[in-house]
């Protein structure tokens, strides 16, 4: 008894001291980050809800059924098995220890054994998944490519050790008469039968040995966790609780003050993140929390088309840099003027940084709510605003937006060309919007200026007119919302554009806005409020759905054929508009919908977001080709979408595949109009 007490407590004290020191160090390191915006403590009900859904309910993990269920049982197994840890430590002091009140309940004994077995089964599932999807077999296709697979195997072994030693000492306890539960603890009793022939003496030795082994593995596991990717066991609940709510999609996290008004001569001003210490504490927490599960990587359009960007590897590289420079970060030596190399070019390859389309698939998938896009855009901001170092072709787009108000540089005078072919008048608002006009139609640069996208804008205008919706446009007074320049990292130009547009809309007395471009929609609805522009913004797919449901447009039999709908990232994932466009297509009597394999939350990007529309795509396969091949593969007659960028990208790829005679790319409004005959 004395030996097992000494061994058990000795191991525990040493391991807890090591783990405690490490956790304190981690806390200091993460707390050294910059303040996080927006607030990570406000909106407590949403945070509690997220904690219940994502940590307790494992919502995101369960979207991947088999590994999700296995993880669910492992997570809950370890939670329930906390009771066995209390029992193990109690047994160090008193061999027939039981937890007061509940410690002899059959239900508790059953639950403990049930989860012990469930964890063992889950471990077997993890082993099969890791073997089947090993990077050695699947190379880049494996979501574990680049992860620390050795550490993952060690963790599986440690978990097996915890459960095996637990069941062994419990079985021996049955035979020595020290076990607090009856037959409901079915696994312990079944194993006890096998050990019974060894006699009470041997069982007593087994009991002591595996009790101490169990405590040693658990406390050793704690130390290992504190030094490995399995930190997520402790950090994931904190990361989920402090993530942006309702989610880290839609608007970008921060709108830095670009005014420089309160900056003194000696102040060092940093826009974006060029060094690891420039990130906020939440971004540093993200880095430490990554589980290396690779779900983000498996969905990333850049990674899936052979580009060097993997959101997982980006997070892991930044984490390595954080840990390697921890002392400097904690000492806040940037303020002391120490020369530190820029992250981009040393830790993050520029091709990695500029490959991101900001599609949001990584953020959507991440089970621990890591906010990749904010981190990527912060590094882009530093490159653009502090280093003036970005892909040369982006320079033209930035100049065009700055000088002409649109990325193509066609100029304000062209913004009304698209209405010339309409057979009704579209009012161009010059002063205040008249009271009899309900909506301001924000056409967007693509809708107003690009030949193919104009067809979508024109069809939208005709549908609205037909349904009796009153609307006007700003014409030459409309200017780029700033979405592409913001995603590229030029926050200064974005804020200039945003302030100009907010002023125009406010001066015109605009209350309600229709947008056809999801990028404009997202910026107007989610980002302009941060700069004082509060408008009621609706996407044309939502309005068309409303008009169809209200009977103000009745789809006819003019279209007959199959349709596959492509979810624009900034409409679907970023703004959760998945159902409305599909509902419009469903209302067309002759249209049969076929879903692509990657749809809705898992929709695959067209390759244009994040300012990628204006950047060369020389690495790997073109993203629009990958997506269009999937769309063509459905055999649909029409690929429909609700975004001018997507339309341009998909149409380009259909032509590049020489399939334009077989498949048409149509905006939702064009398809609806065609159905009317
Ligand atoms: S936002 Fe999209 S492209 Fe960018 S890293 Fe995430 S998944 Fe990849
Ligand atoms: S960032 Fe999230 S999804 Fe990606 S590997 Fe890490 S934990 Fe998994």
417 and 381 fall within a common domain: no
The answer, yes or no, to whether any atom of ligand 2 lies below 6 A from the CB of 299, is no
- What is the position in ligand 2's atom list of the atom closest to the CA of 297? 4
pLDDT at 338: 65
pLDDT value for 11: 85
639 touches 566 (CB < 8 A)? yes
- Token pair for 363: 């953020």
Residues 148-158 have a mean pLDDT of 93
CA angle 587, 592, 597 (to 5 degrees): 115
What is the atom index within ligand 2 of the atom nearest the CA of 292? Answer: 5
| Ligand in nearest proximity to the CA of 313 | 2
The pLDDT value recorded for residue 41 is 87
CA 221 – ligand 2 centroid, Å: 21
- Counting ligands in written order, which one lies closest to the CA of residue 570? 1
Share of the chain above pLDDT 70, in %: 98
CA 617 to centroid of ligand 1, rounded, Å? 15
| Cβ contacts of 499 within 8 Å, gap of 6 or more | 531
Ligand 1 centroid to Cα of residue 271, in Å, is: 22
Q: What is the pLDDT of residue 55?
A: 94
pLDDT confidence of residue 297 = 97
Is 381 inside any structural domain?
yes
First and final C-alpha spacing in the chain: 89
- The per-residue DSSP string of 537-581 comes to EEEHHHHHHHHHHTTSS---SS--EEEEE---TTTTTTT---HHH
Q: Which residues contact 508 (CB under 8 A, 6 or more apart)?
A: 429, 431, 432, 433, 440, 474, 477
Distance 637 CA to ligand 2 centre (A): 37
Which residues are near ligand 1 (CB < 6 Å)? 299-302, 309, 311, 356-362, 372-373
Q: Burial level of 551, CB count in 10 A (0-12/13-18/19+)? A: exposed
3-state secondary structure 357-415: CCCCHHHHHCCCCCCHHHHHHHHHHHHHHHHCCCCHHHHHHHHHHHHHCCCCCCCHHHH
How far, in Å, from the CA of 291 to the mean position of ligand 2?
6
Cis amide leading into 472 (omega within 30): no
Coil, strand or helix at 657: coil
Q: Are residues 370 and 445 in the same domain?
A: no
Q: What is the CATH number of the domain that holds 348?
A: 1.10.1060
Cα(30) to ligand 2 centroid in Å equals 18
> What would the mean pLDDT of 36-46 be, rounded to a whole number?
90
Q: Is the model's pLDDT at 667 over the cut of 80?
A: yes
* Contact status, residue 621 vs residue 642, Cβ threshold 8 Å: no
**How many angstroms separate the CA atoms of 237 and 222, rounded?**
17
CATH of the domain at 456: 3.40.50.1860
**Number of independent structural domains in the chain:** 4
The reported pLDDT for the residue numbered 322 is 97
Low-confidence winner among 14-28, 138-152, 162-176, 251-265 (lowest mean pLDDT): 251-265
Residue 402 in contact with residue 493, Cβ under 8 Å?
yes
**Residue 199 Cα distances to 16, 110, 208, 213, 285, angstroms:** 35, 25, 15, 21, 52
Q: Is the CB of 364 under 6 A from ligand 2?
A: no
Q: What is the pLDDT of residue 264?
A: 67
Q: Where are the alpha helices (DSSP H) in 81-148?
A: 82-93, 106-132, 135-138
Report yes or no: 653 and 628 within 8 Å, Cβ to Cβ.
Answer: yes
Contacts of 331 (CB under 8 A, 6+ apart): none
> Domain check: are 291 and 379 in the same one?
yes
295 lines ligand 2 (CB under 6 A): yes
Are residues 98 and 222 located together in one domain of the fold? yes
* 62 and 200 fall within a common domain: yes
- Do both 54 and 191 map to the same domain? yes
pLDDT tier, 50 (very low <50, low <70, confident <90, very high otherwise): very high
Residue where a domain terminates, one of 517, 547, 577: 547
Q: How confident is the model at residue 301 (pLDDT cuts 50, 70, 90)?
A: very high
Give the C-alpha separation, 495 to 333, whole Å: 31
The residue among 502, 522, 547 that closes a domain is 547
Does residue 406 lie within any of the structural domains? Answer: yes
Query: How many CB atoms are located within 10 Å of the residue 64 CB?
Result: 18
Spatial distance between the Cα atoms of 118 and 184, rounded to a whole number of angstroms:
15
Q: Is residue 486 part of a domain?
A: yes
Name the residue among 249, 540, 534, 267 with its Cα closest to residue 370. 249
Q: Which residue has the higher pLDDT, 65 or 2?
A: 65
CA 368, 315, 597, 152 dihedral sign is: negative
| 12 found inside a domain | no
Q: Could you report the per-residue pLDDT of 537-556, keeping only the tens digit for each?
A: 999 999 999 999 999 999 99
Radius of gyration of the chain (CA): 29
pLDDT in tens, 444-460: 999 999 999 999 999 99
Residue 264 gets the label, from left (phi > 0), alpha (psi -120 to 50) or beta, of beta
Whether residue 24 is contained in a domain is answered as: no
Dist. CA 571–CA 548, nearest whole Å: 19
For a ligand 2 pocket test, name from 152, 312, 375 the mutation site with the most ligand atoms within 8 angstroms of its C-beta.
Answer: 312
Answer whether 281's CB lies under 8 Å from 348's CB. Answer: no
Question: Among 244-248, 559-563, 604-608, whose mean pLDDT is lowest?
Answer: 244-248
Q: Is the CB of 370 within 6 Å of ligand 2?
A: yes
d(CA 207, CA 193): 14
Cα separation, 347 vs 303, whole angstroms: 18
Q: Over pLDDT 90: what percentage of the chain? A: 91
Looking up residue 621, the CATH number of its domain turns out to be 3.40.50
pLDDT reading at 336 higher than 70 = no
Which pLDDT score, from 0 to 100, does residue 8 have? 82
Confidence of residue 334 (pLDDT cuts 50, 70, 90): low
Average pLDDT for 605-616 = 96
Q: In the prediction, which pLDDT does 3 show?
A: 78
Distance (angstroms) between ligand 1 centre and the Cα of 357 equals 6
* Nearest ligand atom owner, CA of 248: 1
Q: Which of 248, 296, 299 to mutate to test the pocket of ligand 2 (most atoms within 8 A of CB)?
A: 296
**Is the domain of 491 the same as that of 583?**
no
Gap from CA of 605 to ligand 1 centroid (Å):
9
Instruction: Please answer whether residues 652 and 623 qualify as being in contact, where contact means their C-beta atoms are separated by less than 8 angstroms.
Output: no
Decide whether any atom of ligand 2 lies within 6 Å of the 292 Cβ.
Answer: yes
Residue in 284, 369, 370 to alter for ligand 2 test, most ligand atoms within 8 A of Cβ: 370
pLDDT digits (tens, 9 = 90+) for 371-419: 999 999 999 999 999 999 999 999 999 999 999 999 999 999 999 999 9
Average pLDDT over residues 497-522: 98
475 shares its domain with 533 = yes
Residue 2 has pLDDT above 80, yes or no: no
3-state secondary structure of 307: coil
CA separation for the pair 629, 646 (Å, rounded): 14
Same domain as 403, residue 377: no
The predicted pLDDT at position 425 comes to 95
> Within this chain, do residues 404 and 528 fall inside the same structural domain, yes or no?
yes
pLDDT digits (tens, 9 = 90+) for 229-266: 789 999 999 999 999 998 899 999 978 888 776 666 66
The mean pLDDT value for 294-305 works out to: 97
What is the average pLDDT across 516-534? 97
Q: Say if 252 falls within a structural domain.
A: no
Return the minimum-mean-pLDDT range out of 196-210, 267-281, 291-305, 522-536.
267-281
Residue 585: strand pairing partners: none
Instruction: Please compute the mean of the pLDDT values over residues 428-447 and round it to a whole number.
Output: 96
Q: What is the pLDDT of residue 357?
A: 98
State the distance from the centre of ligand 1 to the C-alpha of 420, rounded, in angstroms. 39
CA distance 385 to 497: 16
Residue 515 pairs with which residues in a beta bridge? Answer: 442, 539
Residues with Cβ < 8 Å from 387, sequence gap 6 or more? 274, 342, 344
Task: Tell me, yes or no, if the pTM score tops 0.85.
Answer: yes
Determine which of 39-43, 542-546, 640-644 has the lowest per-residue pLDDT on average.
39-43
Of 81, 78, 31, the residue nearest 58 (C-alpha): 78
- Asked if the model's pLDDT at residue 4 lies above 90, the reply is no
pLDDT confidence tier of residue 1, bands split at 50, 70 and 90: low
Q: Which of 390, 406, 433 is the last residue of a domain?
A: 390
Whole-angstrom distance, CA of residue 420 vs CA of residue 246: 42
Of the listed ranges 263-277, 357-371, 434-448, 498-512, the least confidently predicted one is 263-277
How far is Cα 665 from Cα 651, in angstroms, rounded to an integer? 6
> 144 with 286, same domain?
no
CB-based burial label for 159 (10 Å; 0-12, 13-18, 19+): buried
Q: Which domain holds residue 346?
A: 276-304+314-390
Q: Does any domain span residue 7? A: no
Residue 664, classed as helix, strand or coil, is strand
Q: How far is the CA of 312 from the centre of ligand 1 (A)?
A: 10
Find out whether the beta carbon of 317 lies less than 6 Å from any atom of ligand 2. Answer: no
- Whether residue 528 sits in one domain with residue 413: yes
Whole-number Å distance, alpha carbon 128 to ligand 2 midpoint, is 20
- Mean pLDDT of all residues belonging to the chain: 95
Q: Does residue 241 belong to any structural domain of this protein?
A: no
For residue 610, name the pLDDT band (cuts at 50, 70, 90).
very high
222 to 42, 227, 370: CA distances (angstroms): 31, 9, 23
Residue 140 has pLDDT above 60, yes or no: yes
Query: Contact 352/51 with Cβ under 8 angstroms?
Result: no
Q: What local confidence, expressed as pLDDT, does residue 120 receive?
A: 97
């Amino acid at each position: 008894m004395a030996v097992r007490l000494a061994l058990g407590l000795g191991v525990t004290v040493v391991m807890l001291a090591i783990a405690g020191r490490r956790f304190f160090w981690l806390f200091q390191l993460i707390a050294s980050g910059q303040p996080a915006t927006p607030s990570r403590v406000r909106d407590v009900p949403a945070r509690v809800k997220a904690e219940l859904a994502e940590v307790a309910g494992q919502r995101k993990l369960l979207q991947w059924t088999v590994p999700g269920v296995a993880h669910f049982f492992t997570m809950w197994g370890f939670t329930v098995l906390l009771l066995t840890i209390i029992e193990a430590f109690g047994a160090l002091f008193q061999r027939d220890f039981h937890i007061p009140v509940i410690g002899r309940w059959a239900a508790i004994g059953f639950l403990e054994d049930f989860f012990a077995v469930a964890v063992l089964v889950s471990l077997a599932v993890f082993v099969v998944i890791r073997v089947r999807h090993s990077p050695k077999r699947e190379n880049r296709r494996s979501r574990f490519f680049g992860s620390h697979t050795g550490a993952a195997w060690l963790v599986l072994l440690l978990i097996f050790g915890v459960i095996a030693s637990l069941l062994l000492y419990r079985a021996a306890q049955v035979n020595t008469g020290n076990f607090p539960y009856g037959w409901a603890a079915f696994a312990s009793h079944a194993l006890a039968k096998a050990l019974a022939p060894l006699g009470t003496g041997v069982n007593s030795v087994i009991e002591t040995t595996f009790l101490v082994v169990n405590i040693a593995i658990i406390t050793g596991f704690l130390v290992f966790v504190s030094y490995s990717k399995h930190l997520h066991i402790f950090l994931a609940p904190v990361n989920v609780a402090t993530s942006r709510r309702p989610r880290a999609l839609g608007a970008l996290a921060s709108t830095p003050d670009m005014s420089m008004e309160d900056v003194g001569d000696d102040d060092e001003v940093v826009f974006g993140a060029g060094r690891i210490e420039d990130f906020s504490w939440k971004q540093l927490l993200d880095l430490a929390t990554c589980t290396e599960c690779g779900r983000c990587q498996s969905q990333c359009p850049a990674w899936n088309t052979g580009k060097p960007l993997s959101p997982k590897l980006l997070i892991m590289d930044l984490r390595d840099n954080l840990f390697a420079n921890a002392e400097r970060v904690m000492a806040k030596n940037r303020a002391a003027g120490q020369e530190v190399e820029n992250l981009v070019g040393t830790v993050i390859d520029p091709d990695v940084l500029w490959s991101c389309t900001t599609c949001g698939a990584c953020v959507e998938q991440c089970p621990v709510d890591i906010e990749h896009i904010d981190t990527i855009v912060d590094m882009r901001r530093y490159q653009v605003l502090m280093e003036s170092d970005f892909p040369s072709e982006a320079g033209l787009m930035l100049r065009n937006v700055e000088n002409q108000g649109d990325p193509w540089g066609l100029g304000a005078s062209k913004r009304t060309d698209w209405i010339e072919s309409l057979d009704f008048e579209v009012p161009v608002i010059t002063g205040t919007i008249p009271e009899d006009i309900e909506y301001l139609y924000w056409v967007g640069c693509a809708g107003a200026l690009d030949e193919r996208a104009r067809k979508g804008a024109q069809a939208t205008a005709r549908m609205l007119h037909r349904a009796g919706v009153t609307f006007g446009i700003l014409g030459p007074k409309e200017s780029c919302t700033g979405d592409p320049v913001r995603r590229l990292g030029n926050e200064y130009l974005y804020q200039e554009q945003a302030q100009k547009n907010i002023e125009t809309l406010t001066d015109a007395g605009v209350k309600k806005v229709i947008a056809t471009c999801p990028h404009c929609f997202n910026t107007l609805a989610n980002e302009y409020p941060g700069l004082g522009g509060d408008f009621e913004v609706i996407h044309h797919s939502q309005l068309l759905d409303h008009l169809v449901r209200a009977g103000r447009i009745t789809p006819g039999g003019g279209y007959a054929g199959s349709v596959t709908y492509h979810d624009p990232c900034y409409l679907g994932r970023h703004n959760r508009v998945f159902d409305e466009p599909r509902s419009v297509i469903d209302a067309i009597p002759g249209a049969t919908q076929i879903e692509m394999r990657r749809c809705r939350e898992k929709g695959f990007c067209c390759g244009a977001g994040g300012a990628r529309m204006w950047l060369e795509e020389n690495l790997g396969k073109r993203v629009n080709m990958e997506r269009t091949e999937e769309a063509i593969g459905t055999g649909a007659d029409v690929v429909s979408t609700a975004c001018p960028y997507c339309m341009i990208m998909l149409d380009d790829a259909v032509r590049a595949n020489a399939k334009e005679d077989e498949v048409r790319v149509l905006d939702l409004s064009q398809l609806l109009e065609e159905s009317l005959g």
